[in-house]
Homo-oligomer: A and B are copies of this chain.
Amino acid sequence: MINLKKSDIEASFDFDASVKAIRSCYIAASNKTVSLPPVGHIPFTSVNGDCHIKAGHIHEEPIFVIKIATGFYDNPKFGKPSSNGMMVVFSALTGEPVAVIEDEGWLTDMRTGIGGALATCALAKRSARKVLLIGAGIQCRMQANALNRLFEGSLEFHVWARSKEKADLASKDLAANGLSAAAITDLEDCVRKSEIIITTTPATSALFQADWVSNGAHITAIGADSPGKQEVDQVLLEKADVVVCDLADQSLDHGEFQHAHKAGILKEVKELGDIFNGEVTGRTSDDQITIVDLTGIAPQDIAITGSVLKAYELKEDF
């Protein structure tokens, strides 16, 4: 069995191959050529933590993956990162263990960044330049870096967070990485001016008002991945012209759209894979408001893990 640490996978990570694999996996998910048991969720309420278990098999792939991701949100108080986890890889032909990848959540962070950037590229208008990042954690950085790499056209990033200090820190990190980035404090003003809005918070109620959002804007909502979480005003879901998710089963159950779905106010929800595949249309004019909710799906984990193993196996000449 292969045992890889975070440092191994960072060293051999192939961004472009992972992007390609993740794009394909959304198509496989929407085509239902995947086996996906429901996401397992274990809450640890007394220590403000939770664990998500995402497993699945993309048919015809020789491996399948079980991803265990923990989020213990008080950890930073004790000098530990809040995210952790690992990918466990098995043979889909014999059921034997193939690899344990102790990525400490790094692959989840990366595949979430790539998935979000792919969705944003597919749905934002091509002329978009002004990007607002709401939240200043790891996904602020991951989304911005991946989007900057994949979007055709140069982008200006603005970062807003409840803590100005954290927004400053995040924008400095982005700038250090070569991005045009600045922290902002006037959220309403910035929402009104932004053509792309990316929310990456664990919020449980809407972060901005629907009527602040300008025509032509695109919103990528990353944060809501558990029952109770919500980042976007329900009114915006009614106002949006195109509403998209990664996997309807998840998004309507425990993602951003859970509340609107339960309230019965949600119009048609498209799946990202069907848009990538050309089976349904996404944005059809620069005036439309588009919104995508990403809960994160097991095929992303399989895709990025497959890329890692491929890179590693080539490197080690397996």
Contact = CB atoms under 8 A, between A and B. Distances in A.
B57 A40 contact: no
Contacts of A3: 3
B70 A68 contact: no
A235 B88 CA distance: 42
B44 A102 contact: no
A42 B37 contact: yes
Interface stretch (A22-30, A92-100, A141-149, A171-179): A92-100
Nearest to A57: B42
Interface stretch (A7-15, A45-53, A125-133, A273-281): A45-53
A129 B110 CA distance: 60
A72 B64 CA distance: 14
A44 B1 contact: no
Given A95-B49, A97-B102, A57 B44 contact: yes
A138 interface: no
A53 B51 contact: no
Interface in A29-72: 35, 37-44, 47, 49, 51, 53, 55-57, 64, 66, 68, 70-72
Given A88-B88, A94-B80, A53 B53 contact: yes
B47 A37 contact: no
Contact of A68 (B78, B83, B90): B90
A31 to B, nearest CB: 17
Contacts of A88: 68, 86, 88
A75 interface: yes
A84 interface: yes
Contacts of A53: 37, 40, 53, 55, 66
A72 B138 CA distance: 39
Contacts of A43: 35
A38 B36 CA distance: 13
Contacts of A96: 70, 80, 84
Given A84-B97, A93-B47, A96-B84, A56 B71 contact: no
Q: Which 8 A-B pairs have the closest CB atoms?
A: A70-B95, A37-B40, A72-B95, A84-B95, A35-B42, A40-B55, A42-B57, A84-B96
A37 B51 CA distance: 10
A7 to B, nearest CB: 14
Contacts of A47: 92-94
A95 B66 contact: no
- Of A3, A51, A56, A85, the most chain B CB neighbours within 10 A belong to A51
Contacts of A80: 94, 96
A93 B75 CA distance: 9
A72 B90 CA distance: 12
Contacts of A66: 53, 66, 68
A37 B226 CA distance: 13
